[in-house]
Each structure stands twice: as C-alpha cells, then as structure tokens.
Amino acid sequence: MARKKISVAPTRTKNMELDALIKSVPGRNPALLLDKIGVLVELAGRQKNPEATEKALEWCAIAKRKKLNGVQRCLLDYYTANAWISRHHEKKTATRRQSTHWEQPEIEQAIFHLQKAVNDPAFPFLDELLRCKILTGLGNQFAFMGHFISALTYWDRAIEIDPAFGMALGNRGKGIAEYAELIADDDKKPVFFGIALENLLASTSDTARYFGDGQGKEYFRAEQEKIEAMLYNPDDKTSLACATSVKGGKAGKNKSARKWKLLHKLYLNPVNDLCRTPAAAYDLMEQPETMPSSLRMTPQAFRFLLQIRLEYIAARQLACDSIHAKAVRKVKKNGLANTENEPLAYSLAMESLKLAYRSAYSLLPKIAQVIRLYFRLKPDHGKTGLKNVWYRDGNPANGLASVFTRSDNWLLRSLFWLSKELPSERLLPSINADSDRLKTIADELENRYLRVVELEPADDAIVDNTITRDKLEKAATDVLSLVRNAIVYLTLALHIEEKKRRQTEKDNPESAEYASVQTSLNA
C-alpha cells in the first residue's frame, strides 16, 4: 500500500499544479509569462490535457504581442510549436486521425514556429541543449510527414552542436532506415541501412546523452536490433561505411567544386543526403522503368523530367563556377568593400550567378508540370505551380485531388511537404518564414534589376534593389537545394508508381495494351 501512495502522490501534485496554472492569469512580465508557458506546455503534453493546451496557445498569442528580446522570441516559438504538437496528439487520439493523411495543420504550425526559431538571429545565443532540442524536434516533425531530406539536415545540425546528443543520433538512424525502404536502387539500400545502424549504435552507447529521456535509448536499441537482423553481416565494419561503386572524379581544379556540391547536398544522388564521400559525388540519371511495348513510347512526363535534370545540372554548374570564380576569390581574400573598380570578371561572375538563380527557380513550376502530365490532371492554363498542383483545379479551397488522397506513395507526400517550404502563394502560406525572400529575389531579377554589393550599406544609405554577394550566394544555394530535393523525391516517387503500373499491367494484359496505345497517342 505504501508503494502505491508513493507512485500516486507525484501525479496528484502535477494535476494540482496544472489546475492552478489553468486558473491563473498570464501576467504582464514577459520573462515570468514565458516561464509559465513553458511549464504549462510541458504538463499539457504529458497529461494530454486539451484545456491546458488551448490555454498555452492563448498565452503564446498574448506573449507574442509583448516586447521580447531575441532569446525570448526563440523560446516563445519553441513553446508554441510544442503546444501545436500536443494539440496534434490530442486530436489524433480523439478522432483516430491517421498519420497517413497528407494535410496535418497542427504539424504545419509546429514546423513553422520551429523554423522561425532556427532562423532567428538570436538562435546561436541559446544554450546548446535547447538548440539541440529545437533542431531535433524540427527534424522529427519533417520525418513524421515523410520529408526525410530536410529532417536529415536538422538532425545533422544538432549533431554538429553535440555529437553525443542521443535523440538526434537515434532519430537520424531511424529516419535513414525509413528512407532506405523507399529507395528504388537495391544496391544502395545496404549503404542506407549501414549508416542507419551506425547512428543507432552511437545513440545506444554509454557516451550518448539523453538528459532524462531514458525511454528513448531503449526505443532506439529495439530499432538497432531490427536493422542488425536485416543486414547479412552487421559485424563487418565495411558495411557501415559509405562505400559503393562510384564514378570517381579527378583531384585538382574540380576538387573545390565537388566539395561545395557535397557540402550543400546538391548532387542528384540520395547518398548525398547521408554523407559527403566520393560515393555521393555524382549524379544518378536513371529514369523510372516502364513496361516495354512496341506500341508504347517513353511517357512525355519522363522526357520532361530528364530535361529538367539537365537544366538543373547546368544551373548548378553555372552557380558553382560563379561562386568560385578567381575574381570573386580575390575580393573575398582582400576584403574589398567597393567592387566598382574590380575587373570585368567580377561583374560577369555576379551576372552568371543571377542567371543560375533564375534558371534554377524556373524549374519549380516545370516540376509541377511533370506531376500534372504523369497523373493526367486537368490542364492548368499556365497557373499551376508546385504548391497548388496537388489540389483539384489547382485551387486549395477545393481540397486535394483524389489521385493523391488515394495514394499510398510516401514519396509523393514527401514532395507535397517540400512544396510547403516554397514561398507563400494564394491561400497557401509557407511553413518557412524565410522563404519569401527567394520569390522576392526572383521577381527582382525577372522584372527589374538587382545590384550586387560586397558589404551591407549603412542604415542611412540603403539603396533599393541591392543585395550583398553573400546573401545572393546563399539564396542561389537554397533554390538549388529545393530543386534538387524535389527532383530526387519525384524520381523516386515515379519509380514506385511505375512499379505499381507494371504489376497492374501484368495482372490485366488487355487493359495494359489499351493504356500503351493511349500513352503513345497522348505523347
């Protein structure tokens, strides 16, 4: 009996504390209000209390109107994201909503606030543990929605801060294993599972830090055992290395270019999402396999996708050459603030970078056209982009097209959630508050002009239509990364779709022959 009293008392104390918080008033002091919100969000999440979660979101809205410093802004976004995650779990339990549903508005809000915290200038001033929690949490939400490439990016950032952070290591390993199941190339799956096992082993080692979350370690140990049972020889250390047959590149003048592409994960190769070794330093150009037939031509969507790949590679190379141009390196080395007297080579490098940006940005609506062609969606009359191609008649108010709501193709949903990171459009806000700058730059380059300067002008001497070289380089890299990720997702998704169609044609040869004739006529 005594043992029961000991176990119940903490629960009663927490319930009393939560009840008192719900009945209390938020207060005027921003620091004290944030402390109360943090406690309220934590208790609401643990006890799955909808009333407490709504109260936390209400207080977050009040705190947002107060004058906060940078660190307080990051904390508020972190608490707000956790409150939205709690609401998601509560609604999922109450309505039995499946995680396979494409639209998850609570997760969308959580990602928005977590990314807002990460992009805040004050984020580097947070303590290491909090930064790791925010980055790991953001990666977890992306992985939950199938957007593994972004998830890996944020887990990697957390591990860079703390290489022994157990939750980031374990989730990275589990995420890579799930990503491996979707890879069409069976030769690359051992590489994925090997690196996943390597991360899981690190997450269950004695040096891994969990900061009170001991259950996570046991969960990752179970995932580790599953992968060990799957691999032929898990004790072979070579199976844990990123080592596959590669098209080796020569050292020399291309070394810096390869390093830049690997660093920013710009190769059309899923292995580049995992590591920066030579195994990832080349582009995979294989098209999805179609059912061979004398009446069937290569589908128009596949021909279009191949052209998009080539245009992306050209834009990437143009950006790489511009960023690493000799004249640009000279300006960086000498720290020149005024580039007006620089040789013509510097100006040409900047104009080439602008062209690379425009070329890469123009590929986003083209990817949407591949989706429209492949799934035979209604003509868009030139209005469909990658953010709205998923909806009936391209209108978000009409809901998702039935071809997508019925689909169990996880990689299509990955691409759908990648599209949510694109700049805001009608009825479709972006989950990345920093992405609208990409559209602004594209509009300036397309319709007006953009002058590149080396240093930011003083506050009293801001000139319109100017951008620093560093910002333009980062924006170009971000656009290339978005396009690259979209191409990888779409290629893998179409591999899965074609595999389904081949099985259907095998089961129904008469309908397959009719489909072949229709495809050839449409092409």
Give the CATH number for residue 27: 1.25.40.10
Same domain, 260 and 227: no
Same domain, 229 and 275: no
Same domain, 511 and 477: yes
Same domain, 214 and 308: no
Asked if residue 278 is part of any domain, the answer here is yes
Same domain, 271 and 194: no
Same domain, 256 and 230: no
Asked if residue 291 is part of any domain, the answer here is no
Q: Are 113 and 81 in contact (CB under 8 A)?
A: yes
Same domain, 116 and 177: yes
Same domain, 203 and 338: no
- pLDDT tens for 162-218 read 999 999 999 999 999 999 988 877 778 888 999 999 999 999 999 999 987 667 888
SS3 labels along 40-90: HHHHHHHHCCHHHHHHHHHHHHHHHCCCCCHHHHHHHHHHHHHHHHHHHHH
Asked if residue 289 is part of any domain, the answer here is no
Stretches in the chain below the pLDDT threshold 50: 1-8, 234, 237-252, 293-295, 459-462, 512-514, 516-517, 520-521, 523
The rounded distance, in Å, linking the Cα atoms of 342 and 322 is 15
- At residue 2, the pLDDT reads 43
**274 to each of 132, 269, 281, 313, 449, how far by Cα in Å?**
19, 10, 12, 20, 38
Asked if residue 126 is part of any domain, the answer here is yes
Tell me which DSSP letter residue 431 carries.
Answer: S
Label residue 309 left, alpha or beta by phi (over 0 means left) and psi (-120 to 50 means alpha): alpha
Helices (H), 146-236: 148-161, 166-180, 189-203, 214-230
**401 to each of 21, 389, 391, how far by Cα in Å?**
44, 9, 5
Asked if residue 294 is part of any domain, the answer here is no
Same domain, 72 and 207: yes
Same domain, 341 and 203: no
Same domain, 263 and 232: no
DSSP 461-516: G--TTEEEHHHHHHHHHHHHHHHHHHHHHHHHHHHHHHHHHHHHHHH-HHHHHHHH
- At residue 284, the pLDDT reads 83
- At residue 358, the pLDDT reads 96
- At residue 6, the pLDDT reads 40
Asked if residue 417 is part of any domain, the answer here is yes
Give the range of the structural domain holding residue 268, as residue numbers without chain letter. Answer: 251-284
Instruction: With H, G, I as helix, E, B as strand and everything else as coil, classify residue 349.
Output: helix
Nearest to 394 by CA among 409, 404, 379, 408: 379
Q: Provide the domain count of the chain.
A: 3
Distance, CA of 322 to chain centre: 26
Asked if residue 246 is part of any domain, the answer here is no
The number of helix segments (H) and strand segments (E) in the chain equals: 20, 2
Asked if residue 208 is part of any domain, the answer here is yes
Torsion of CA 246, 250, 256, 259, to 10 degrees: 10
Same domain, 308 and 236: no
